[in-house]
Structure formats: C-alpha cells, structure tokens
Structure 1
C-alpha cells in the first residue's frame, strides 16, 4: 500500500501518556442510511421518537456539519476503520464494486473506475491500535467489507478472513459480507450470530450484546463498535413498535435504534462508567429518505448524500449542551480514538483524519483547510453522483465527469445547492480545482473511463 506522506504534513499528530485508570472507554454507534432530520436532536418532525439520542445530545456536543467519507456505505465503513479516504483505499463504492460490470454507464457517460471488494488486511485499524493500549474490543452489527456475492449466500459468509476479528476486534457478532440483513428477526441467517430466541429483532439483539460486553469488561478500558443495520432496507420492525407509531415501520425502526442506544447508556450508568466513556453516534452516509433542508439523498455528492447526524457525549471532557459548526469527516475517528486512549499515530503515515479532541475541549476550529471526496461511479436515481469534490469554508466545488458539468456552491447562502455560481466566481472555482486535483494525485485515485 502506497504511503500517503504528502497528506500527513499538517495533521497535528499527538503522542499522549494516559494512565490505565484514565483511559476512556470508547463506544462508537453507527446507523445505516440515516440522514439529518430523522433524529430528535437535529430539528426532526414531532412524530420521531428518539429520546436517548436527545439525551446524548443534551449531555454532550452536536456536530451540525458532520460528513460521511462517501455517499454510500462500504467506503465510509472502510474509511472509519482505517483512517484513510476511500480514494486512497481504492474502495470507492458499495460492495460489490467491479468497474462497469454491475454499474453500467448510461449512453455517452463514463464507465466506473475500479473499486475493490474488501478492506485490505494490511490497512491501518483503530481497533488494533486500541488493543495495543490494553483495550478489550468488540464489533457488533454491519461490516459490509468482506467480499461480494453475499445476497446469494444463506449466512453472509463470503470471505471470513476479512471479518472484523482480523482487524483487531476480540469479538464479532453480526459483521460479515451482508450489506443488509437477510432477516431482521431470529433466525437471522447470519453466520456470525447464534440464534437464541425465535422472532427476536436484530437491533434489540445487537444492543443486548453491547450491554453484555460492557458488563463483562467494566474493570478495564474497552471499545465497542456498534454498527447497527438500522435503518437500511428492507423496512421492518417489531409489530408492537409499528402499531405504536401509527403503522409507520420506518418510525418504528428509528425508535428501536434509539432503544439500543438507551441500553448502552443505561449499562454505562449502572456500572459507573458514564463519566469517562466517549459515546459517538454517527451514520455511514446521507439518508435513503431525504433531508428536507438538504439537496438530494444517499448516493449523491450533494449535501443530502454526505451529511449525517452526529452527537458525542463524554461528560468528563465535553461540556453538556454544546454544538459545533466545524466540518468533520469519517477519517477523524481513527486519530481521535487512538490519541484519547494514550496511543500515537505518528508512525501511521496513511492517515488522513484530524483529532477531534480540540473541538471536544471547546476550540472552535480545526487546523484543516479542506475536505475531499471522490466517487468515480454511476448511480441511478440521484443527481451529482459520479464526480470529485472539495469543501473549503463556505465553498463547495464539484468536479464533474462526463455530461455533468462542474459546479460551485456557497453552502452558507445556499444549503439546497440550487444556485451554481461558478460563472460568477471563476477565481474561487479555479483555486479549489487546483487543490482538488492535487489531492486526487496524492492519493493516486482511480478514475472513470471517459468515452
């Protein structure tokens, strides 16, 4: 794997000494296909019932401009674990991602770039780094980084050597090649989950597993990646919750997801661990259901495809009821976790993220000048899908491939991205284009084939 030395010059890498009793527990909860506007802490509609997420937000910090590393799931998940951008990993679309084979180009449009079908075993992993610091580690939920063809299997087992336990997790329950559940109810038809109670709902089960891990490891620092399958299709939820939500299964899924969050928070409180536990709630890409105040949805490089809800609670460090407008991205979790645990990322040259601790401690901004994206793939049903992108300050520049033209938006004035102002500000677009192309070259990005 090619070292990305050009990307590590200004990351502010830290070496921290933290005693064993000061090491925070770290719980990373990630939803699937959940956009802003579908949880209580970010201006959702009244019928949404997520009180535990509201509880998280009130006790910590809400990130108003949290972004996913990609507009679809697998690339973001790979970027989370590795701290590397999807472009650098060559994993730029959801698995399976063979170029041109499953994403045929519309007439006259470019053919997809190559994208690999698993997270390489030699990739950096925050779980491995946390284990070096004495952490017990567990993965519960959706992985979707272990090979193609899971839809044809009976148990999601395609390439087990790429499962979470090979990336530093002591326990893996739920993580296989599946991009969505084969069954939401026990029997789960998942080779990494032992069935225990017929009809049990998957989200409930994963929450219970996280609680059991907390109880079993309360006397040592631990990390949990609880990556829920909710709220990915198919939209199904327990009958009692569907009835409670007026027959709306999606709202019922949201409430169930929130229930799993509540189980974790309650378990931490009962064990006296809440004060020094960092709990993150995040999503892997924009919503499959659109956000009212953002353009487009999952699959698009417009804001609705990339923006996600995010809240972090850590009472020992983060002041309750705070929020930030500073843009953050998926790759930031790796250095944040490792540094908080007392580890160093100095020798991991591939990392592209920034430590979020300064924001946790009240600093208004990070020392980062831009965020980047690269999605060299055709995707039906959304605008601005194939392209590359840079956000710097209030400006967003989209580099189009094929028939989609370049665009420049001022996100502060135009969050719905209705007004392409490239013609009015060519000098801004030119500067951002240069930075974007320099980044694409630095990560050796795979490019689409232009006809």
Structure 2
C-alpha cells in the first residue's frame, strides 16, 4: 500500500512538473500573426456595426468579418493614408510618408493632375519628387519580427515595395502578385484583372511562381471541399469549370501556408494584402448572380460579389487557424496563440455615407476604415474602442505584443531606426482607454487628379472630441471640422468660430507647423518663380479663416 502511494505521489509530481513546464513554455511562446489588408474596403462596406458606430451595410454581406468582430476588438476610428501605395509603405515601414525610409506619398507620383486641367504650367505648384517604394535598408515590420525568430510571408499586392519583390525586406516568402495579370494566349498578349489566364507557355497562371499552383479552374471537388462552408449563400455550381479568381487563390495559398507552419518550431507572420475590392471590379460569377437576383445593378452586384468573396477568404484563413491540417479534428487549433487582424488600405470606391469622399481623399471617406484585432485571452471579445489609430502604429504595436524592444535595433550603418507610430497594445489589452498621443498627420506635397492637391491635415483629440484642420497650399486657406458632431465634414467651423474653437484651431496650427518643420516635410515649388512653397504661419488660421 505504501509502495503504491509512493508511486502515485511520484507520478503526481511528475505530472505537476510537466504541467508547470508546459505552462512556462506556453507563456514564452510568441503568437503567430495573420494580417489581412483589404484593398479599398470602405468603413460602411461591412455588415457588422462594431467598426462603424452601428452603420453596418444592409447590402453587402460579411458574416466572417462580423464573426471576428464579435470575437475581438473593433476600432471605430481606424485610419490609413488616402490610397494604396502610401498606406502599405507606412504600415510596413512604421513611418509617415515624410519618414526617411518611406517617402511614398501616392501611387506612381504626385503629378497626377486633375483631368480638367492641362497640367503644368496651369497648376501653380510643381510637386515633390517622391519615391515609389520604401528603403531597403530600413528596419521594417518584417525585420522587426524576424528578431524574435518569426518566419515571414507576404502574399498579395506589393504597392509600396518593389514588384517583383526582390531585395532584403525581411520576407522569407514573397508571393507578390500584380493586379493586372498578363499572359500570351493564342499568340496574343491578354490581360485580366482578377481571373487566371491560360498561358500558351505556363498553362493557368497568375504570373506568380508561388500562387500559380492555385490557378487551375474551379471543379466539383474544389466546390465540395474548399467552398463547402459557403455553398448555402449562392449557386456555386455556376463556377464549375470557370477560371479561378485571384482572391480565392490568395486565400488558398494562405490556408496552405498556415497548414505548413502552424505547429513548427518558429512563430509565423503571414501578411495578406488582398487585391479585393479594387477597381476594375470583377466578382465571382455565383456571388455576382446572387446580388443581381436581389435587384442590384451590374456594377453594384459586382462590387457586392467582390466584398463577399473577400469575406469568404477571410473565413477560409480563419478556419485554417482553427483546423490547420483540415482533417476536422481541431486538436491542432492555434486560434488562442494567433493575433488575427482585418484592416483596409483606404476608404471605399463607392458610397461611404455618412462619410464624405472616397479613396484618394483626405476627408473621412478616403482615410477611415474597418479594423478588427482578435487575440483570445489577451483581447476581450466583442469590444469596441474609439481611440484613433493609424497604419504607422502597427509596427510598434506588434513589436510590443511580441516582446521586441525597438530601442535596441540598429540599421546597417549603426543608426537607430526612427518610427512615427505608437503602440496601442495597452488599448487592445484594456489597460488604457486612450493613448497619450493626441495628433495624427497627413501631408501631400502634390496632386492626384481631382481628389487632392498640395495640403496638410492634422487630426487632434481634445478629451473625447476629434477635430480636423486642413491647410491648402495653393490658396493658403484652412478648413476645420468637429467629427463628433459633424462626421460628414459639412460645417467648416472657421467660417464663424467660437472662442473655444479658434483656440483649438490655433493650437492645431502650431502643432501642424512644428510637425512639418521637425519632419522637414517637402511642399514643392511655385511654378511662377521656382521658390519653395512655405509652411502655414503660426497664426495663419486667424488670418485665412474662410
């Protein structure tokens, strides 16, 4: 009896030791990270109301995004830059476009003049000559995570970084794909924006050596297995035998990446910048037909189709986290040790009401987007914050969540990298309600058709109130809006400011000027005389109020 008791005691102690050891291992384990970066997904393009103050879409269906919102924290004041390349460049570099390792202000250039003009010399300001991609020698978000042993992968749109993605950007698997797919078909060069092409030389292709294996047309087996969770939402048989959609292929690649790395000896960072729901919108046939039958016109049916297709692939990736090997047994579930993020690169292309503007503008419709973070056990489920955050904040936030001390990092020349963002990890963990930072900035030293001209914007939080102050260099004028009472930015407070509003405006102007000077922000030159365009003066708000 005593012998049995001793054996039982030894077994109990061994078991307890194993549990303690396992707990210690788990506590030191770095979380996997999946970052979904949608393209042109607007603030009101999702059906959840968590990310848009109860203004979820009644047209578009995003049940997978809605589910994630119920499982994590949603941001009602999440911001980006005004369009694709600068948002991606800022997210990856952790810097505003003014940053030394960034310098990406717009897609292609800052000389995209208003189509109603003849260009220079009719436009008064010659724009700053920007860069098209971030610096290779900067320590970007991939480099930062690699210091903690992360495996890194990038599948999707490569704006803000080179295409094809070559060089030392800290990415182990760069599966970048251009939006326009081109291939020789029957001796002719054929283009497609979303559907795989059957090339004479390569067979079915997306022009990506990593993603081409997913380019074969839809078949019944794919429908029955991969799309099975979604078949009740549309007549999926319509796509049998049709070309594969790029959005599905990116989702399939991501699922296999998770399968291959879920239980490896290193954590992974999977960055998925989808091309959906970008312009030249072509949805998947079954989903487009679903929305046509609901009475939507052709363009809106395609747009709705693309949004739901994006949502389905977010669901695919989420299911892969739950069941990495796809065998139906969720004992390999990595959900609790995975940070899952859904975000968009800029505002929507269609109706963003009640927000004013769209992609390419600095009004709320162009820069305010959905954002959801899920990290079970760290982030409370179904929570909402109205703290404003920006794509520059992702690098320091993920650094804090994974234990990186950014002050210890050094570039190849020995200098310490400078980041503009701040960590909002404590907001995620419900340890703080507000960041100490009160200002966000946008600066555009050039033109993009009718959507923007040379301008600077500061957003300031005063207590729980958000204000925006715009400065327009061509006319040397300001406008100011109070977002809490005027989310549509219709009432320019500077037309008849109260003493309080003018005081706030003067402080915002001073902060704007200080930021411009500190960052040596370029402004371009006046065409008429070649002189540099000046910053707004300290008290110009009073002088130039409209």
Alignment TM class, shorter chain as reference = 0.7 to 0.9
* Per-residue deviation, 1:132: 1.6
Q: 1:101 to 1:301 in 2, by over 3 A?
A: closer
* Per-residue deviation, 1:92: 3.8
What does residue 412 of structure 2 align with? none
Structure 2, unaligned stretches of length 5 or more?
Answer: 1-23, 50-54, 183-190, 198-204, 218-242, 293-297, 324-331, 409-415, 528-546
Find the partner of 1:253 among 286, 306, 312: 306
Is the Cα–Cα contact under 8 Å of residues 35 and 271 in structure 2 kept in the other structure? yes
Measured in 1, the distance between the counterparts of 2:58 and 2:39 equals: 22
What does residue 183 of structure 1 align with? 193
Residues 1:264 and 2:317 are matched in the alignment? yes
Measured in 2, the distance between the counterparts of 1:146 and 1:125 equals: 11
Listed as ranges, the matches of 1:4-153 within 5 Å are 21-42=28-49, 43-68=55-80, 70-89=81-100, 91-97=103-109, 99=111, 104=119, 107-146=122-161
Is the Cα–Cα contact under 8 Å of residues 299 and 385 in structure 1 kept in the other structure? no
Find the partner of 1:352 among 420, 442, 445: 420
Find the partner of 2:458 among 366, 374, 390: 390
* Per-residue deviation, 1:182: 4.8
Please state whether the residue corresponding to 1:408 is helix, strand or coil.
strand
Find the partner of 1:426 among 467, 492, 502: 502
Please state whether the residue corresponding to 1:294 is helix, strand or coil.
coil
Structure (1 or 2) with the larger CA radius of gyration: 2
What does residue 212 of structure 2 align with? 195
Deviations 1:245-274 (A, max 9, x none): 225111110011001110111111113111
Is the Cα–Cα contact under 8 Å of residues 26 and 279 in structure 1 kept in the other structure? yes
| Structure with the larger RCO, 1 or 2 (CA within 8 Å, 6+ apart) | 1
Q: 1:119 to 1:349 in 2, by over 3 A?
A: closer
Q: Which runs of 4+ in 1 moved over 6 A?
A: 17-20, 100-103, 177-181
* Per-residue deviation, 1:361: 1.3
Residues 1:439 and 2:515 are matched in the alignment? yes
Find the partner of 1:218 among 262, 285, 302: 262
Q: 1:102 to 1:293 in 2, by over 3 A?
A: closer
Measured in 1, the distance between the counterparts of 2:113 and 2:492 equals: 33
Residues 1:413 and 2:413 are matched in the alignment? no
Structure 1, unaligned stretches of length 5 or more?
Answer: 1-16, 148-155
Is the Cα–Cα contact under 8 Å of residues 113 and 450 in structure 2 kept in the other structure? no
Is the Cα–Cα contact under 8 Å of residues 100 and 113 in structure 1 kept in the other structure? no
Deviations 1:147-199 (A, max 9, x none): 5xxxxxxxx64xx435xxx3111112124697999531123543454523141
Measured in 1, the distance between the counterparts of 2:381 and 2:88 equals: 28
* Per-residue deviation, 1:107: 2.9
TM-score (norm 1): 0.87
Find the partner of 1:230 among 276, 280, 283: 276
Measured in 2, the distance between the counterparts of 1:137 and 1:268 equals: 16
Measured in 2, the distance between the counterparts of 1:123 and 1:182 equals: 34
Q: 1:310 to 1:96 in 2, by over 3 A?
A: same
Q: 1:279 to 1:404 in 2, by over 3 A?
A: farther
Find the partner of 1:364 among 418, 433, 447: 433
Residues 1:325 and 2:424 are matched in the alignment? no
TM-score (norm 2): 0.72
Is the Cα–Cα contact under 8 Å of residues 35 and 342 in structure 2 kept in the other structure? yes
Please state whether the residue corresponding to 1:346 is helix, strand or coil.
helix
